[in-house]
Amino acid sequence: MPSLPVLSHAVSTEIAAISPDKHTDAPNPASRMAVSFPRKAVACLSLLLIASAWTSAAHADCRNYGAERYPQQVPIKNFPASFTLKKANIGEVIATHTEYFYSTPSSAPYWNCGPDDWYRMTPPKITLLASHLPQVYETGIPGVGIRIKFSATTNPHYYSLPPPINQSISQGGGGSLYPPQIVTIDFIRTAMGVGKGDFTFSYETEFSVQTKIPTAGSWHKIVGTSLKTTLKQDVYFTSCHTPHALPPVEMGRTMIAEIKLGRTKEHAFSLDVQCEGMNPATKPPVKVYFEGNAVRDGLLNLDGGGAANVAKGVGIAVTNDKGKDVPFTKGGALPLTWQSSGTNLERYRFSGKARYVATTGEMTAGKADATLTYVLQYE
């Protein structure tokens, strides 16, 4: 499940034989032929081979066949008025649309080409910004990106990646070259929080193939103009966050003798979380794990350890309200407790406790602060 770091929570004060101190806030040549010729014949053969190679390079071999000719401009036009987003992890498809440019594959044109001839699709002209995921664009709706790919019903391997494409027929897999016959538009989850709403964009790429007629080649634009839709969903929170600044956990003054005897006081704290974007009948789980200078789950080292003014031989034990050590790995994340609902939001809480404990080595007095950062996991 994906995760998102949010803020820092500080647990602090000092271990003192006598004196207190304040805590600080923290959040990748041709093969030789063994044949004997008279000298004159060899020279003649060489000239013929050179001329043949030059002719092949100068003229592409692709010829157009089929019941129709591929249009100079192919429109993307049957874009749905709305999509309902489904559950998926970050980087996965949450909605998709497939459009066929030809109703029957047999009606589509194709080219017969030589293995060294080329076909291309230009880098897209699109009214969207690139996202952090490869070949995915931001829609402007939180957590939702878009990816546009093309395919053909015959030899689909020619279009295994979205544009741009620039490769030889042999690189594409060989055989007859069919133009793009299908466009697939995928909506991709790009972040923890996922929104909803209206979305409009335009798109253009150009497919080209070498041909003998005309000698300059054949170019075909694929265009989607002002494609508009509405994204709907009731399976994701738009965001989860703490609605208020978190106060420090005041640990108070503690005597070394109390720590040695294991009689230190537990200090309660809580983390209130507000998740916005939906009111599902079944409340989705929201989990938390922590980051910090930890010895192990549930045990924090002190900030500035080793400095002359920092206590030694002491750590801070942190558990939930049931006494379970707080996790410092994603795999151990603990569930928050659902509290209540509001308008288009749900409220959750984590309750915990912290206390000073002995670690290793000689125990000395000094400053005894530690910093704990929480990380939320949610749908």
Dump the DSSP string for 215-267.
TT-EEEEEEEEEEEEEEE-SSS-SEEE-SSPPPPEEEEEE-HHHHHTT-PPPE
Q: Number of H helices and number of E strands within the chain?
A: 3, 26
**Structure confidence at residue 375 (pLDDT):** 94
Q: Does residue 135 share a domain with residue 105? A: yes
**Is 53 a member of any domain?**
no
**Structure confidence at residue 103 (pLDDT):** 66
Domain termination site, one of 232, 266, 298: 232
**Structure confidence at residue 45 (pLDDT):** 32
In angstroms, the Cα distances linking 33 to 36, 41, 56 are 9, 14, 22
**Structure confidence at residue 254 (pLDDT):** 92
DSSP 305: T
Domain termination site, one of 174, 202, 232: 232
**Structure confidence at residue 61 (pLDDT):** 60
Task: Specify the pTM.
Answer: 0.71
Q: How far is Cα 44 from Cα 66, in angstroms, rounded to an integer?
A: 41
Q: Based on the structure, what is the number of domains in the chain?
A: 2
Q: Are 183 and 150 in contact (CB under 8 A)?
A: yes
pLDDT tens, position by position, 311-364: 999 999 999 999 999 999 999 999 999 999 999 899 999 999 999 999 999 999
Q: Are 204 and 223 in contact (CB under 8 A)?
A: yes
Closest CA to 324 of 302, 299, 301: 299
pLDDT tens, position by position, 14-23: 444 433 343 3
Q: Does residue 208 share a domain with residue 83? A: yes
pLDDT tens, position by position, 114-149: 777 888 999 999 999 999 999 999 999 999 999 999
Read off the tokens for 8: 């820092």
Q: Does residue 136 share a domain with residue 252? A: no
**Structure confidence at residue 48 (pLDDT):** 35
**Structure confidence at residue 274 (pLDDT):** 95
Closest CA to 239 of 100, 344, 102: 344
**Structure confidence at residue 189 (pLDDT):** 96
Residues of the chain with pLDDT under 70: 1-61, 66-67, 103-107, 171-175, 211-217
**Is 49 a member of any domain?**
no
| Full domain range(s) for residue 162 | 60-232
Domain termination site, one of 232, 265, 283: 232
